[in-house]
Structure 1
Amino acid sequence: MSVHLDLIIEAVVFLTIVGVTWVFGREIERAAAQRRRLGVQQGTVSSSAPLLQEEGTDNRFFQWIRASTSISEPVEQERLRGELLLAGFENPAAPVWFVIARFLLAIGLPLLFLLSRIVMAKTLGGASFIFGIAAFCGIGFLAPSFFVRQRARTRRQDLEIEFPDALDLMVVCVEAGLGMDAAFIRVGEEIQESHPRISREFGRLAEELRAGRSRTEALRAMADRCNVAGIRSFVALAIQTDALGASIAQTLRTYSAEMRSTRFLKAEERAMRIPVLMTIPLVACILPVIIGALMLPAVIDVVRYLGPALRGQ
């Protein structure tokens, strides 16, 4: 009877912690959204926003999620959408699904912890149980944000590696007589297997151009989605060249040579770091073994000659 009473008390404590976490988390998010809104002037919405309207998210469930969380604030919704875009989540419903995943994990992980205690019939004590519930609740609440940031970092690194090769193909296509729009389509098709991320960006850029969006807006939107310094420089260069009427082929060839030089310098930098990085395993692992091998004969001789004397023989 006491075991069941303990489980009931622990379940009540669990539900109380989850409820308090929900309320405080919601208030903290709303306060942060209000501070961000106060620091942003009106009319600073990104130019790519019209492409990401709330189509497909107008059902009652999604409306209730948006109204019950911090994404009901336009500034917070745009911020979250921007972070998800950098991670490669382009679905208009991605912010809503992100919030759903966050709260499902914040509730699900503590619930699994509680069920595991019930199945194993172990009593961790009041303080240990409360700490475990709070820890799993915090992990579940923060895990989606960590996953999105890690995915955005990996995607940015892949784009940095893939873009120079795509730029070389762009130079070949433009010098062969293709226009910029046709070159984006051609390069995106050619590198679809070897460089999927930059190919997807070129494909979306081509779709936006076919849909009637101006080249300047489409290029800037691609730069915002990628958040890579090399791509931003390329976009600025392409827009300036188009505005001045200069030769795009010569401009791309010059910039491609600079990108190759930059990539070569980065490779040299990584190569120069190898001796420094090898010092740590050398000192920690190899050097003690070498010292031991060199000192072992001397230690054997010392033990052989001094051992009998020390024993009084």
Structure 2
Amino acid sequence: MPTPIAVLILSFTITYWLAQGLLRFAPHWGLIDAPGERKPHRVGTPLGGAALVVGSLLPILIFASRGSNLWGWLCGALGVGLLGLWDDRWGVIPRIKLMGQILFALFPIFISGFSINSINIFGMSLELGIFAIPFTLFWIVGITNALNLIDGLDGLAVGAALAASTAIAILSIQSGNGLSLLLAAALFGGAISFLIFNHHPAKLFLGDGGSYYIGFTLALVSLTSLQAERSPLQEVPMLVPVVLLLYPILDTLWAIVRRMKAKKSIFQADQEHLHHQLFKKGWGYLKTIWLFYGVFAVLAVISAALFWVHL
């Protein structure tokens, strides 16, 4: 059996098994999302993102070759997952969460040498120089939070992960990046397993632990999948990952602008995201979620096409 397939199956199985356990025990451990004014659900729902985190991490540890590229992602992804899990259980003020995300984003930068040194947009190359590390941090932390922000509708963030990981797997095969392919396979297996519990009406929510982990992983592999394994990130065709993750990016930018115009903290949650608006205008869950699944699929195809034509 090819290794990526084995990773996908194992990730699916472990995530499913752990999700079943969390469905039963999470409420006893205080891992539950209670109903609230800015929340669409009417009953408390267990938070099971830890199942996805552990379920997709373990197969990588079993099958991936040990190296700095692996450990940089592993330490950072596990770190943001634990940070989110802590927030799910006990709560963390936004400033501390942001500082923690920046700290864990430094792991792949300094352990694995993951740094966006130059980017290519429409054939024009731009050397980032001293701005390489700040830009890399901005990308990782930004995407980590963007996936968290779209996790406001049952199955939405998980659906984004499925579409993105599929595209990343294809890009990894094209570029010959074996580690990125394994990470995409693990994320896909864990996400499709978790969706069994997360589709409407959700039995489990991702919580910050799960959504941070997904965002962090996508931020890295959406770039590493574009180049051969162990190659430095040079001449990154930024349109590819930007298009792939376009909805979370635009949704986050609009949320920041919206809250600043209302003179609110950019960290203050609301129900003004596009998926909330469509749902409240009577689209219903199925119509809304399938619209976004279609958008995610189209963006995945476009991003792969952009890579193939070397934009």
TM-score above 0.5: no
TM bin (shorter chain): under 0.3
The higher radius of gyration belongs to 1
More helix by percentage: 1
TM-score, normalising length from structure 1?
A: 0.27
More strand by percentage: 2
